[in-house]
Each structure stands twice: as C-alpha cells, then as structure tokens.
Amino acid sequence: MSAVHAPARRVRWFNYLAYGSNDVLGAGSMAVTSTWILLFYTSFCGLSASQATIIFGVARVLDAIASPTIGYFSDRIGGTALARRFGKRRIFILAAIPLMPSFALMWVAGQGFYYYLVTYVLFELVYALEIIPYETLASEMATDYSTKAKLAGSRILCGQMAAIAAAFVPGWLIGRLGPDSPNTYLYLGAIFSALFMLTAGSLYLLSWERARPPGLEEPDGQARQRGLADAFYTLYHNLLSTMRVRSFRLHLGMYLGGYLSQDIYNATFTYFVIFALAGSVSTVSSLVGVTFTVQLVAVGLAILLTLRLSPAATYRLAALSFAVGVALLVGMYLAGLKVTSPLFWLPILFAGLGRGALNYIPWATYNYMADVDEIVTGRRRDGAFAGVMTFVRKLSQAVAVMLVGQVMEAAGFVSKASVQHPAAIAAITLLLSVGTLALLAFGIIVSLRFRLNPQTHAILVGEVERLRQNPAAEPSSQSAKDLVEDLSGWRFEQLWGRNSVARA
C-alpha cells in the first residue's frame, strides 16, 4: 500500500501540543544560548571573546560527524528489535531524556576553559541526539500538507513561548539574586533542563511512526554488511546529495537568510543595549521578552498568510518587517535617543513581527523536502534531511557568535569591562545593522525562485503516487512535468531513481 494512502492515525490536539512543546528544546535552548552564552562567558567566566569562539568552533567540528551520523542511522535501524519496540526515530528521543541536565552544567560560573568546552560540546551532542529524530516526526505522523503545516505551526508557537521564557526568566532571577550574581544563569539552565525532560517525555508518549511501503528505505541488514568506511562514505554522500534537490537548496538559502540574520542580531543585541544604549541586563531581558512575545503573535499571522499566499511571499513580507525594525533601532541610536524612550518599542514591534514569521516559514516548508526528494530517488530519506538541517542550524548559530566575538575582540572589546572603547561599540553597531540586513536581502533574493506551496505540493504528491504505481509513467500534463522539474531540479525522465543520487 502506498505511503500516501496508508491508514493514518488522526493527529489530535494533544498530539499537536506534545509535538510542538518539544521545541522548548529546539528554540528554547537556541534562544538561551544565542542571547546569553557569550555574555556569560565574557562577564562571569573570565573567557575572552576569542576563547568563546574556539568553544563554538570545536563543537561544530564534532557536530559535523554527530548530526549526520544520527540522521543516517535513524533512517536505517528500522529492522532492529529495539527499533520495532520503541520506534527507529523515537528510540533516540528516549535515550536523550536522562542526558538533558547537561544543559545546566554549561552555566556553572568560575570554571576553566576546558570545563566550558566539554560541557558545551556534551549538550550539543545530546541536542543532536534528540532533535534530529524529532524533525522527522511530522512526516512520520502525517502525509497531507495541512496537517504538516499545523504541526510546524504548533512547533514554532511552543518554541516562541520557550523563547519568551528565555528572555524574561533572567530578568525575574536578577530581581531576586541581584545583577551581579552568576547563579542567575545556573538557575536558568536548571529550569530549562527540567522543561527539556518533561517535553521530550511527552513527545515520546504522544507521537508515532507510520509504516512505510517496502523499498523506500535501505534494509538495515544491508547497512550492517558494509564496512565502516563504506557506511561513512555513503552517509556523507547521501547528505551532500540532498543539496542536489533544487527545492532543498532554495529552502536552505531562505533558512540561512532568516535564521543567520537573527543569530547575528541576537549575539550583538545584548552588547548593543548594554554598551551603545547604556542599558542593563534587565533592560535586555525586557526588550528581548517583548520581541519574543510579538513573535508569538507573528507566528499565528504567518500560518494564515502562508496558506493564503505562499511561503515565499510571506517570507519576503517578514524579512522586510525585520529589516525595518533593525533600521529604526540603529537610526534611533544614531539620533541620540535613550533606550528609555518609548519610541524604542516601535523597532521592537517591527523586528518581532518579522522574526516570528521567519522562524515559522522554513520549518513549515522543511516538512515537504523529503516529498520532493522522494520523486527524485524513489526513497524516503527524512533522517538525512533532518541531519543536514540540524547541522546547518547549529553551524549558522556558531558562525554568527564566532563572527561577533572575533570582530568585537579585534575592535578592542574588553571582557568584564563596564565601559567599552568607541571602536568596539561601532563594530557592534555595524554587525547589528549591516550584518543582519545583508543576510535578509540574501534570503529575499533566494525566495523569489522558491515555488513550493499547497497547490504545487498537491501536484507533486500526485506525480509521486503515479510513479509509485508505475515507475515508467509519463507526467500527467506538461504543466505538471514543468513544475516537478522545477521543484526537483531534474528532468522528468531522470526521476524516480533514474539518476546518480538514487544509485549511490
């Protein structure tokens, strides 16, 4: 029976909630680290900005091995006894739950460089162990565009609520512990560790994996018969081959434009408020909290606009809104306005509206990438795409933080100093403005070529079903042929496994 028409369980409200709440780990941990980790390292741990960037760089090198490996094996262990009992995706989630308190260990002040290196890398590996299989579950639990869009929406809505907590909780803790207490961040880490365990457990209990038609995945026995070197060669060849799917390349371009711009903004915003606008950590907490609150509203608007217009059109509106917010923020600073001015809520509003939609759209479109790949290869490779997405996400955040740290140090930034040199402040301002706006422009340009939407996805699924029934089938129409070729980047006669990607 086809995957499209296989009997499917109904996704109920509590399934949506359990699936979405797991982004407390995804978006929540990213919000905490992107907003506070560099400040924590340089203000409470005695690390230089350069040392902090080394930590992020080492973690990314190791993640280049871990993330794709997890994705690869989650695609191929379906025939094992453990996978049949616990699920080939969900078994990884179950294994990660007892390891999630490692997040709190990152926030112990007064330790040495190697302590922070080991604890940061450890949590990044735990994060990959859980989040990569999680990212395949939308396509495991549902096949239709609408349900997948709702799953993505629930994920981003819950992630935005976690991000709000990541912003406001430090301010609440500072009010009780004082502005100079490093325990603020330790308690923050402990609170989020508990939330990670709770939501991951709920996800495991209230999610499922649907049966696949024979032939869509490589038998795990065949995978075991290959040597280790061959397995790793195939692993990375498969991951690189995801880039040969045109829609996925465009998707990644939009994803990087939207997320990397936010990473640079997040990494510089804290320093911008404290040193350029003479604010405090409490001020940062309030402004970031309001931004994330507006983002929560923006996600709801983005869900409606994406279904009514298209993901690409909604993306462009969101990027423009974020760009207006950044331009207004820097413009008010250059005009000499104080951070206490009520006018500063205006750029926060524009930025929040844009950022919320930019957070939703890439994850909404991601859920359909394996569908495009299926018409190319004739197989399902959800895990491979999840591995690439997780690696690119963490790589982009690390690149942003490393770039900010290196530029700040080169401009004369001094750790633990209450006042910074004007050159360091100028560098922070340039990163916040030029860096963010350039990446948004890149994402907008890429979005002009992205054609996946509810209507085109329905045509794609129809062609997949026709080829599944008859691999030699001709396209249903010339317009369907042109569309599928545009989405896949391959000629129609090369689809359904008749290409070098599928033969690997």
Residues 6+ apart with CB under 8 A from 58: 117, 121
Task: Report how far residue 326's alpha carbon sits from residue 329's, in angstroms, rounded to the nearest whole number.
Answer: 5
Task: Report how far residue 466's alpha carbon sits from residue 156's, in angstroms, rounded to the nearest whole number.
Answer: 33
Judgement on whether residues 355 and 310 belong to the same structural domain of the protein = yes
CB 76 within 8 A of CB 106: no
* Mean pLDDT of the region 143-151: 83
Region of residue 112 (left: phi > 0; alpha: psi -120 to 50; beta: else): beta
Domain boundary among 423, 440, 459: 459
* Mean pLDDT of the region 374-401: 81
Question: 3-class SS at 45?
Answer: coil
- Determine, yes or no, domain membership for 404: yes
- Determine, yes or no, domain membership for 223: no
Distances (CA, A) of 137 to 39, 41, 96, 143, 388: 35, 35, 16, 11, 15
Judgement on whether residues 276 and 369 belong to the same structural domain of the protein = yes
pLDDT at 220: 45
CA 190 to chain centre: 22
CB 361 within 8 A of CB 315: yes
Task: Report how far residue 147's alpha carbon sits from residue 149's, in angstroms, rounded to the nearest whole number.
Answer: 5
Judgement on whether residues 159 and 273 belong to the same structural domain of the protein = yes
Instruction: State the residue range of the domain holding 481.
Output: 460-503
Which one has a higher pLDDT value, 36 or 191? 191
Task: Report how far residue 223's alpha carbon sits from residue 99's, in angstroms, rounded to the nearest whole number.
Answer: 28
pLDDT digits (tens, 9 = 90+) for 313-368: 999 999 999 999 999 999 999 999 988 889 999 999 999 999 999 988 988 888 88
CB 22 within 8 A of CB 200: yes
Judgement on whether residues 52 and 74 belong to the same structural domain of the protein = yes
Task: Report how far residue 377's alpha carbon sits from residue 454's, in angstroms, rounded to the nearest whole number.
Answer: 22
pLDDT digits (tens, 9 = 90+) for 260-306: 999 899 889 999 999 999 898 888 888 988 998 999 899 889 988 98
CB 60 within 8 A of CB 395: yes
- Determine, yes or no, domain membership for 388: yes
Judgement on whether residues 68 and 100 belong to the same structural domain of the protein = yes
How many helices and strands, by DSSP H and E, does the chain display? 25, 0
Residues 6+ apart with CB under 8 A from 479: none
- Determine, yes or no, domain membership for 408: yes
- Determine, yes or no, domain membership for 427: yes
Identity of the residue numbered 176: R
pLDDT digits (tens, 9 = 90+) for 429-463: 999 999 999 999 999 999 999 999 989 999 999 99
- Report the percentage of the chain scoring pLDDT > 70: 92
Distances (CA, A) of 52 to 9, 41, 156, 333, 436: 46, 7, 29, 28, 21
Full DSSP string of 441-472: HHHHHHHTT---SHHHHHHHHHHHHHHHH-TT
CB 31 within 8 A of CB 168: no
Judgement on whether residues 249 and 378 belong to the same structural domain of the protein = yes
Judgement on whether residues 411 and 487 belong to the same structural domain of the protein = no
- Determine, yes or no, domain membership for 263: yes
Task: Report how far residue 262's alpha carbon sits from residue 265's, in angstroms, rounded to the nearest whole number.
Answer: 5
Judgement on whether residues 480 and 446 belong to the same structural domain of the protein = no
Q: Give pTM, 2 decimals.
A: 0.76
Task: Report the CATH number that the domain containing residue 187 is assigned in CATH.
Answer: 1.20.1250.20
pLDDT digits (tens, 9 = 90+) for 471-489: 999 999 999 999 999 999 9
Judgement on whether residues 478 and 361 belong to the same structural domain of the protein = no
Question: 3-class SS at 110?
Answer: coil
Helix %, strand %, coil % of the chain (to 5): 80, 0, 20
CA 491 to chain centre: 31
Closest CA to 138 of 84, 238, 215, 208: 208
Q: Looking at the 3D structure of the chain, how many domains does it have?
A: 2
Task: Report how far residue 368's alpha carbon sits from residue 372's, in angstroms, rounded to the nearest whole number.
Answer: 7
The token pair at 268 is 């510089």
pLDDT at 217 over 60: no
The token pair at 457 is 């996805």
Task: Find the helix packing angle between 478-488 and 246-271, rounded to 10°.
Answer: 40
Judgement on whether residues 101 and 78 belong to the same structural domain of the protein = yes
pLDDT at 482: 96
Task: Report how far residue 389's alpha carbon sits from residue 391's, in angstroms, rounded to the nearest whole number.
Answer: 5
Task: Report how far residue 81's alpha carbon sits from residue 110's, in angstroms, rounded to the nearest whole number.
Answer: 45
Distances (CA, A) of 267 to 3, 49, 253, 334, 432: 43, 12, 21, 20, 9
* Mean pLDDT of the region 236-254: 87
Closest CA to 127 of 449, 397, 309, 317: 397
Judgement on whether residues 350 and 262 belong to the same structural domain of the protein = yes
Domain boundary among 428, 444, 459: 459
- Determine, yes or no, domain membership for 7: no
Residue 5 confidence class, pLDDT cut points 50, 70, 90: very low
pLDDT at 221: 46
Supply angle C-alpha 300, 306, 310, rounded to 5: 165
Judgement on whether residues 161 and 288 belong to the same structural domain of the protein = yes
Closest CA to 253 of 441, 63, 482: 441
CB 346 within 8 A of CB 321: no
- Determine, yes or no, domain membership for 160: yes
- Report the percentage of the chain scoring pLDDT > 90: 50
Question: 3-class SS at 302?
Answer: helix
Which one has a higher pLDDT value, 427 or 280? 427
Q: What is the DSSP letter of 475?
A: P
pLDDT at 71 over 70: yes
